[in-house]
Amino acid sequence: MLSAYAHPSCKAVFFRSGFALEGARKWMSELGFCGALAEAFVAKTGVLYPAQRPCPPEIVRKKWELTGPMRVLFIGREFDSKNGRIALQVFAAAARSLPMTEFTYVGSIAPEVAVGYSSLLSKIEYHSTLERSETLALLSRAHILFHPSKFEGFGTVFVEAAAMGLAVIVASGGDMAHIREIFDDSGALMVDRDHISEAEEPAVFESHLRRLLNEPELARSLAFRNYQLTVSGSLSMFKRNQSLTSAYERALAEPTAEPLAIRDLPYGRLCTETSLTTREVEAAEKTFRDQYRLTQRRFLV
């Protein structure tokens, strides 16, 4: 998540990466913060969720009339971290017994892996990479987002899927512990990694997918719950703007004081100091963009 935060000694608003609010004290402790500073942080921390304008409701209603096949979509830029292998395994198994379902895979696949799934890839819609507008177009037509990712910082794809009215299949627990905060057990079927082994995951993911494909009314109800999150719920622009405005108002209400400096910050086991020149940051960004073929998004440094 992103959390809006104004420190009492500073008139600015900061943002941090994090999960649920109840974990804020633990997070601060791990970084080495304690006492009044940590309590001030926790008291002023509130979750600020990403938001996206929902697509027109008629688009969601029309696709869920289900006059054609159910469409399942996987999106994973990085094959290993997004668990592309599980997506391929499950799609291959489901496609054999559910021929009326349409499967779409978006993301790179190592050549040696692709060879083993050549038959599947010839039968489904496959794109190694797409522009954002093209990905959103696929989401607008899809019914189920199949997302077995190993971890997500937040997972913008979840906001995009909710805004387009998709049911979601995803993992929870472990590095995906925050997913229950996003969907609140109401818009997704989850594979709980805290209670199953890695070897068991493909079978459970496949079971969840088959359930939604065989129970379209359940899939529809999950999709509309997710859509409502972006209309008026926690992923809506209204809620996002409310939280952001409140954070800035609290920051502006604080007395003017000198901001925190690096020397004021403690260093716990998860906190280290790294200094880079502007040229080094730009070079690192270029390397990252080239590796993942990023062309549109900018980083705030």
The reported pLDDT for the residue numbered 23 is 57
Residue pair 229/167 in contact (Cβ under 8 Å)? The answer is no
**Mean pLDDT value across residues 205-218:** 97
Q: For the chain, how big is the Rg over CA atoms in Å?
A: 21
The reported pLDDT for the residue numbered 45 is 65
The reported pLDDT for the residue numbered 175 is 87
Span 228-284, pLDDT tens digits: 999 999 899 999 898 888 878 877 887 666 766 666 666 555 566 778 898 998 898
Span 15-69, pLDDT tens digits: 333 444 545 666 667 766 777 767 766 666 667 788 899 999 999 999 999 999 9
Q: Starting from the edge strand earliest in sequence, which strands make up the sheet with 125-127, in order?
A: 125-127, 102-106, 71-75, 144-147, 167-172, 188-192
Q: Which segments of the chain does DSSP mark as H helices, in order?
A: 24-31, 35-43, 57-63, 84-97, 111-116, 118-123, 132-141, 156-163, 179-183, 201-214, 216-231, 237-253, 278-292
Average predicted confidence (pLDDT) for the chain: 84
Q: Is the pTM above the cut of 0.95?
A: no
Buried-exposed string 258-274: b where 16+ CB fall within 10 A, e elsewhere: eeeeeeeeeeeeeeeee
The reported pLDDT for the residue numbered 2 is 40
The reported pLDDT for the residue numbered 267 is 59
Task: Go through the domains of the chain in sequence order and give each one's CATH number.
Answer: 2-50+237-271 (no CATH), 57-231 (3.40.50.2000)
